[in-house]
């Protein structure tokens, strides 16, 4: 799945989610829509889920597409280790090509393998300065996720985190209009920065977006912050 298709799917999800929020549907509907779109965007995945905080502060799977997702997540919470928790804590995308032999999580890996999971891809859901959760994909075969899928997932999660925060804010009676304006502003920043790199470097949209993600990873910053800095540094008249 190429990055442009991922952006198309994300744009559709954002429009659909805005309608759900304005119609006062539940946050659960937003989460189900996000996981379904993540599976559509990265078709090598067979399961998806979103981890958020429970009312008591513990980690919980707010929505999972199947029992394997719920079981693999439950082991992460029980052991307090795993790729999804790492993605949340360190605010970075985490790809696992072979869970059974990945030494980063010596207890979770074999347990997840026994459940039928071989690969995973997790990304943090970040809004403003707060990580509000993580989204993850699982697959039964090793090396199911490519570097391109990793970049697409990072882009998807960057927007999904703001949407999730907006949905939670709406449920708490926060100002939805302000949240949605922030969502649109952040999308515009990324689109403008991508366009700027296309013109500056003479490359395709996908190449420009990949370059933007690489800059964000290099500087260990969010893609929106990187886009804003890039546009702020843009010479006048260009």
Condensed to tens digits (0 to 9), the pLDDT of residues 47-105 reads: 999 998 887 889 999 999 999 999 999 999 999 999 999 999 999 999 999 999 999 99
Q: Flag whether pLDDT at 134 surpasses 70.
A: yes
Position with higher pLDDT, 101 vs 217: 101
The whole-model pTM stands at: 0.67
Q: What is the mean pLDDT of the chain?
A: 81
pLDDT, average across residues 189-201: 85
Query: Measured in whole angstroms, how far is the alpha carbon of residue 71 from the centre of its chain?
Result: 20
- Predicted pLDDT at 23: 41
> Are the beta carbons of 152 and 3 closer than 8 angstroms?
yes
- Predicted pLDDT at 1: 46
What band does 21 get if pLDDT is binned at 50, 70 and 90?
Answer: very low
CA angle 36, 1, 229 (to 5 degrees): 90
Q: Using one digit for the tens of pLDDT, what is the confidence trace for 152-178?
A: 888 888 878 877 776 666 555 544 455
- Predicted pLDDT at 214: 84
> Are the beta carbons of 36 and 160 closer than 8 angstroms?
no
Which has the closest alpha carbon to 70: 25, 117, 104? 117
pLDDT cut 70: percent of the chain above it: 77
Residue 18 class from Cβ within 10 Å (0-12 exposed, 13-18 middle, 19+ buried)? Answer: middle
- Predicted pLDDT at 170: 59
What band does 139 get if pLDDT is binned at 50, 70 and 90?
Answer: very high
Backbone angles phi, psi at 175, to 5 degrees: -80, 100
**Rg (the chain; Cα; Å):** 18
């Amino acid at each position: 799945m190429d990055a442009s298709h991922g952006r198309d799917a994300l744009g559709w999800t954002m429009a659909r989610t805005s309608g759900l929020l304005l119609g006062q549907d539940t946050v659960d509907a937003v989460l189900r829509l996000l996981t379904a779109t993540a599976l559509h965007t990265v078709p090598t995945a067979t399961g998806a889920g979103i981890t958020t905080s429970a009312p008591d502060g513990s980690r919980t799977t707010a929505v999972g597409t199947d029992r394997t997702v719920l079981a693999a997540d439950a082991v992460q919470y029980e052991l307090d280790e795993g790729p999804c928790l790492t993605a949340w804590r360190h605010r970075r995308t985490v790809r696992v090509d072979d869970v059974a032999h990945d030494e980063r999580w010596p207890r979770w890996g074999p347990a997840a393998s026994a459940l039928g999971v071989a690969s995973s891809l997790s990304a943090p859901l970040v809004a403003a300065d707060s990580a509000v959760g993580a989204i993850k994909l699982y697959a039964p075969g090793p090396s199911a996720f490519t570097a391109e899928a990793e970049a697409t997932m990072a882009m998807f999660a960057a927007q999904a985190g703001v949407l999730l925060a907006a949905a939670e804010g709406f449920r708490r009676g926060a100002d939805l209009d302000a949240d949605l304006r922030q969502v649109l502003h952040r999308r515009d920043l990324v689109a403008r920065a991508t366009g700027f790199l296309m013109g500056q470097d003479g490359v395709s949209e996908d190449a420009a977006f990949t370059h933007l993600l690489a800059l964000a990873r290099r500087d260990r910053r969010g893609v929106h912050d990187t886009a804003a800095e890039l546009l702020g540094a843009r010479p006048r008249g260009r």
